[in-house]
Amino acid sequence: MTLLETVKHYLTTAREALAAAERNLAAGAYRSAVHEAYYAAFYAATAALATRGLHYKRHAAVVANFNRLFVYEETLFEAEMAGRLQRLLDARLHFDYEPIPAEENAADAALAAANAFVTGVLPYVEEWLKTAADKQP
């Protein structure tokens, strides 16, 4: 898979996860909504990192390197983006591994954070895709 294909794949996957989170929230599947909301942000962050040729297997590495590179070093995104991604990871871990039910307000908050994160990252990745596509033979 080329770098361009990889970035497109992660961007598509982010959008699919966000749509799944919305469907799960509407269906009352709150734990699944939180799970998919996190993955929407995770794949958006992964797409952004892929624009630099970076790929990490561990979720904590994606979070840390997205924050380091795009929020703190290059300041392409506001500091709140770092907090959103970390809070989404924490919520996913909490509801995926703790034997407690997720409530509607937790799913609402996760979906709002994921929407804000994905919406914030999309313009950067889409602009990169346009520029990268122009350079392809």
The string of pLDDT tens digits covering residues 28-49 is 999 999 999 999 999 999 999 9
- Domains contained in the chain, number: 1
pTM for the model? 0.94
Q: Which residue, 91, 94, 52, 95, is CA-closest to 74?
A: 52
| Domain containing residue 21: CATH number | 1.20.120.330
Q: What is the DSSP string of 27-66?
A: TT-HHHHHHHHHHHHHHHHHHHHHTTT---SSHHHHHHHH
Q: What is the pLDDT of residue 136?
A: 59
What is residue 77's DSSP assignment? Answer: S
What is residue 95's DSSP assignment? Answer: H
Q: Please give the residue range of the domain that contains residue 127.
A: 3-135
CA pair distance 22, 82, nearest whole angstrom: 22
SS3 content of the chain, % helix, strand, coil (to 5): 80, 0, 20
Q: What is the pLDDT of residue 19?
A: 98
CA pair distance 87, 27, nearest whole angstrom: 23
